[in-house]
Amino acid sequence: MIRPQTNAWRQATDLSGIWRIRFDPAEVGETDGWHHGIGDNDTHLIAVPGSWNEQLSEAGFMNYVGAAWFETRIMVPPADNDGRIELRFASVDYHARIWLDGELIGESGAAMLPFTLDITDAAQRGGGARLVVRVTNILPADGPTQGITKATYAEERRQRDEYLPAVRFDFFPFGGINRPVHLVRRPRVAIQSYRAITTRRDVALVVEAPDDHTVLARLSGHGAAVEGRANVTAGRATLVLAPAEARCWSPDDPALYDLTIALIDQSGATLDQVSQRLGLRDVCVTGDQLLLNGAPLVLKGFGKHEDSPIHGRGLNLPQLIKDFALLKWTGANSVRTAHYPYAEEFYDMADEAGILVIDEIFSVNLDFRRVNATVLAHHKAAVEQLIARDRNRTCVIAWSLANEPGYLAEPEYRTHSPDYWRDLFAHARRLDPTRPVTHANVAYAGNDDPAFSEADIITINRYHGWYSDPAQLDRAHAALVADFDQLAAHGKPIFVAEFGADALAGEHATHDQLFTEEYQARFIETYWRAITKHPSVIGGHVWNFADFRTAQHGRRVVHNLKGVFTRTREPKMAAWTVKRLWTGQ
């Protein structure tokens, strides 16, 4: 998959701006012909990208889960025989159907992932066109994150109608066009895709393009410029670029090179060119260690969310810059994209800043009473799309295929999941043999979680001292060490992907008291002591980087308050604690 980019051969026009939206709770839009235009009644202005919830809370849409129709006008460039025109949506949450001048041009349920529609033949060239997108934030029951319906409430051990909106996860189901939309013009004869596999010394490229052309690739930076050339046969060209004195990429020295790949015809003319920034590094698991460039890693960092005031889950570039500054300030070297693929700009920043990324698919709390072949097929498709999008990312060091499956400790998890994991992990490894694959285990699924036998890293989320043994840190420490000792029998690296305590900024106590800043700080320090002492544990991620909005229910005070920063990014005491633990200052 090639990202929208602008150069002499490709043009990407960002369609971000103020669009119009019309909500459709009764789902009459299609029969009433809204795809020809959403009309003037009951419409609102809305920023794209952005979630509708907080933008339009005064109009009553804070908790809206359902269909909504977006409309804008686009300018389609004049016809040219050498070009294709595409619309590229970086993510529409969670499902989209798209019409151009009343004609259906496509749909996608790829939640939190991009999709592209070729509109070369559909669009009237050289004029304005009406773009209408029907979005719904209802999750289907058979996706890798299963949606919830009234019908399934009864089966849940928890009363899901305690939640507004009803969700099966602990974050807010923000709806909307949450990432940019681009109108892309690319050459008709073009580079289709490429794979860049790096070591510490070189990059091996596999470029997919039409036969009888030549691929010319160039890697430059840090005083080096190397070129390679290969002919395309059977749809691919392969070559290796090796700078004479390669400089490795790492969190301490995130040295990136500029990679450009050009497609040349037999007369020597350049038909297409794509580029990206790329670092030279390798990553692997050996015994119970995770190695970056041959040296054992200690992962220090956070689970995050894409969440900010007013934007919701919508791309918020100033906050992205701020978040990376705060990550560096704490001394973090890594992040897990809990619990879904993030915007591509996040990975740009991680590549530049030297933040290692555990890239997670959108699969939360998979309930194995309702897992079937269709769920598995959708899960595999999502893994495929994630890897297609992010496989050339230097920062991505591992794939996480699920967060907390078997969360209800349902007996079906033991019986049905082994085959499911075998199939899913093998699928991910086939698509990318170069990175470790893991999943985040919940305590209810046990230290003998069936997924562990497939995983390269034993990843766990633990809340001893919070959801169990509240305010008892000695017991929490003992329980965590007992987990580590049991898990070490797998003979693989152990990683604590979540540990944390809620703190309401400004709440204090001299004794251990839940929800105080002191307790959150002491909780993190206690866990960190155990994490750094155990030889098989390769690090931990505090849950969470910042407070984030959740559905409303009795156990959350507006937000999940486990952030070491507030939702508006002020530090709590715990932020200073992690800074001291991770930087020694």
Q: Would you name the residues annotated as active-site residues?
A: 404, 498
User: Which one of residues 413, 420, 543, 565 is an interface residue with ligand GCB (CB under 6 A)?
Assistant: 543
Which segments of 6-99 does DSSP mark as H helices, in order? 52-55
Instruction: Determine contact, residues 98/142, Cβ cutoff 8 Å.
Output: no
Identity of the residue, 356 or 561, whose beta carbon is nearer to ligand GCB in the bound complex: 561
Shortest reach from residue 501's CB to ligand GCB, in Å: 9
User: Which one of residues 71, 306, 432, 498 is an interface residue with ligand GCB (CB under 6 A)?
Assistant: 498
Does 360 bind ligand GCB (CB under 6 A)? Our answer is no
Residues numbered 325 to 344 that lie near ligand GCB (CB under 6 A) are 339
Rounded CA separation 95/110 (Å): 7
Among 581, 575, 553, smallest CA distance to 562 is for: 575
Instruction: Determine contact, residues 349/394, Cβ cutoff 8 Å.
Output: no
Q: Is the peptide bond before 544 cis (omega within 30 degrees of 0)?
A: yes
Radius of gyration for the chain, computed over Cα atoms and rounded to the nearest angstrom: 24
Shortest reach from residue 166's CB to ligand GCB, in Å: 16
Round to the nearest angstrom and report the end-to-end CA distance of the chain. 42
Does 461 bind ligand GCB (CB under 6 A)? Our answer is yes
Shortest reach from residue 346's CB to ligand GCB, in Å: 18
User: Which one of residues 389, 490, 534, 562 is an interface residue with ligand GCB (CB under 6 A)?
Assistant: 562
Identity of the residue, 236 or 339, whose beta carbon is nearer to ligand GCB in the bound complex: 339
Does 404 bind ligand GCB (CB under 6 A)? Our answer is yes
Residues numbered 8 to 37 that lie near ligand GCB (CB under 6 A) are none
User: Which one of residues 170, 449, 483, 547 is an interface residue with ligand GCB (CB under 6 A)?
Assistant: 170
Residues 249-273 as b or e (16 or more Cβ within 10 Å = b): bbbeebbbbebebbbbeeeeeebbb
Residues 309-345 as b or e (16 or more Cβ within 10 Å = b): eebbbbbbeebbeebbebbeebbbbbbbbbbbbbbbb
Rounded CA separation 183/196 (Å): 26
Phi-psi region of 301 (alpha: psi -120 to 50; beta: other; left: phi over 0): left
Q: Which residue in the block uniquely carries the two structure tokens 């969470």?
A: 544
Find the residue with minimal CB distance to ligand GCB.
Answer: 170
Instruction: Determine contact, residues 37/71, Cβ cutoff 8 Å.
Output: yes
Read off the tokens for 547: 């407070």
Shortest reach from residue 461's CB to ligand GCB, in Å: 4
Does 88 bind ligand GCB (CB under 6 A)? Our answer is no
Identity of the residue, 119 or 167, whose beta carbon is nearer to ligand GCB in the bound complex: 167
CA dist list (Å): 155 to 159, 160, 167, 190, 420 = 9, 10, 14, 51, 22
Does 403 bind ligand GCB (CB under 6 A)? Our answer is yes
Read off the tokens for 410: 């349902």
Identity of the residue, 10 or 305, whose beta carbon is nearer to ligand GCB in the bound complex: 305
Shortest reach from residue 291's CB to ligand GCB, in Å: 27
Identity of the residue, 95 or 562, whose beta carbon is nearer to ligand GCB in the bound complex: 562
Among 90, 86, 102, 87, smallest CA distance to 29 is for: 102
Shortest reach from residue 555's CB to ligand GCB, in Å: 9
Shortest reach from residue 484's CB to ligand GCB, in Å: 18
Sign of CA dihedral 57, 60, 63, 64: negative
Identity of the residue, 115 or 545, whose beta carbon is nearer to ligand GCB in the bound complex: 545
Shortest reach from residue 34's CB to ligand GCB, in Å: 35
Task: Give the per-residue contact string, 434-453, with ligand GCB (x = CB under 6 A; - = no).
Answer: --------x-----------
Shortest reach from residue 552's CB to ligand GCB, in Å: 15
Helix (H, G, I), strand (E, B) or coil at 104: strand
Identity of the residue, 56 or 442, whose beta carbon is nearer to ligand GCB in the bound complex: 442
Among 117, 128, 112, 51, smallest CA distance to 88 is for: 117
Please give the size of the binding site for ligand GCB, defined by CB under 6 A. Answer: 10
Which segments of 29-140 does DSSP mark as H helices, in order? 52-55
Identity of the residue, 259 or 501, whose beta carbon is nearer to ligand GCB in the bound complex: 501
Does 306 bind ligand GCB (CB under 6 A)? Our answer is no
Identity of the residue, 278 or 401, whose beta carbon is nearer to ligand GCB in the bound complex: 401
Identity of the residue, 91 or 363, whose beta carbon is nearer to ligand GCB in the bound complex: 363
Sign of CA dihedral 428, 172, 368, 502: positive
CA dist list (Å): 240 to 26, 208, 395 = 56, 15, 20
Does 393 bind ligand GCB (CB under 6 A)? Our answer is no
CB atoms within 10 A of CB 164: 12
Interface residue list for ligand GCB (CB under 6 A): 170, 339, 403-404, 442, 461, 498, 543, 560, 562
